[in-house]
Amino acid sequence: MTEHQAAGRAAGPAGRGPIAPERLTVVPANEASWADLDAIFDANDARRCRCQRFKVAGWIWRDTTLGERVAMLRAQTACDDPAAPMTSGLVAYVDGEPAGWVAVEPRPAYVKLRNSRIPWAGRNEDRDDDGVWAVTCFVVRRAYRGRGLTYLLARATIGFARDRGARALEAYPMVTHAGKEITWGELHVGARQVFEEAGFAEITHPTTRRVVMRLDFTP
């Protein structure tokens, strides 16, 4: 049992309603155990990608193996190493159980974003500016879906990025419509309303289903 699991077990079962903030712990991934993060990915649609879609320069399924993607995620997160100078995201615990992940790093860390038209349509800025961070992926275990965890994780990225020197934080979420089905796999980038509620503003709408949201930090 990990430190975070032990701390939360006394709170009782997770239940099925919205997750109360007092039942949530969000930590940098290097402060979480690899076993906990692996449990989040292993039981999810993301078990094959391992959050490498924006990290692999080529075609992810052609140019990497699953074993390589697992190793890449482990190296990027530096799990089990609280002293690590860098990590690539945050891990959420609900009642001490590993429940979700969000990827957040300086934007240049995502090599695939550099040549994607979505972040840059209608914009002219330095693509290598590491003062701009990006939120690119959410992974939530099935038992915790539909309970507001992505909203809580999106908010957690703000302080995490700002405290590490970010001048701005971006996201590239999907536009959802009531009554229109959308798969969880498509929503790995998050939904527009998740970032709206966290205080992000829409700056471009490059496709009918994708927007660019941004939060600029006051110096």
Instruction: Say what the pLDDT of residue 6 is.
Output: 44
Cα 153 off chain centre by: 7
Neighbours of 210 (CB within 10 A): 17
Instruction: Say what the pLDDT of residue 139 is.
Output: 95
> Strand, helix or coil at 140?
strand
Tokens of residue 25, six digits: 């712990």
Nearest to 27 by CA among 156, 217, 161: 156
Separation between Cα atoms, residue 139 and residue 41, nearest integer Å? 7
Tokens of residue 201, six digits: 């503003």
First and final C-alpha spacing in the chain: 41
pLDDT in tens, the chain (219 residues): 455 544 443 333 445 789 998 999 999 999 999 999 999 998 777 889 999 999 998 999 999 999 999 999 999 999 999 999 999 999 999 999 999 999 999 999 999 999 899 999 999 999 999 999 999 999 999 899 999 999 999 999 999 999 999 999 999 999 987 656 565 456 899 999 999 999 999 999 999 889 999 999 987
Domain segments of the chain: what residues? Answer: 3-9+18-216
CATH number given to 3-9+18-216: 3.40.630.30
Instruction: Say what the pLDDT of residue 8 is.
Output: 41
This prediction has a pTM of 0.90
Instruction: Say what the pLDDT of residue 17 is.
Output: 85
Cα 36 off chain centre by: 15
Separation between Cα atoms, residue 53 and residue 185, nearest integer Å? 12
Pair 171, 189: CB distance under 8 Å? yes
Q: Is the dihedral of CA 125, 129, 132, 137 positive or negative?
A: positive
Q: In what order do the strands lie in the sheet with 24-28?
A: 24-28, 89-94, 97-106, 132-140, 168-171, 210-216, 201-207
Beta bridge partners of 213: 171, 202
Q: Which amino acid, 58?
A: G
Residue 127, phi-psi category: left (phi > 0), alpha (psi -120 to 50), beta (remainder): alpha
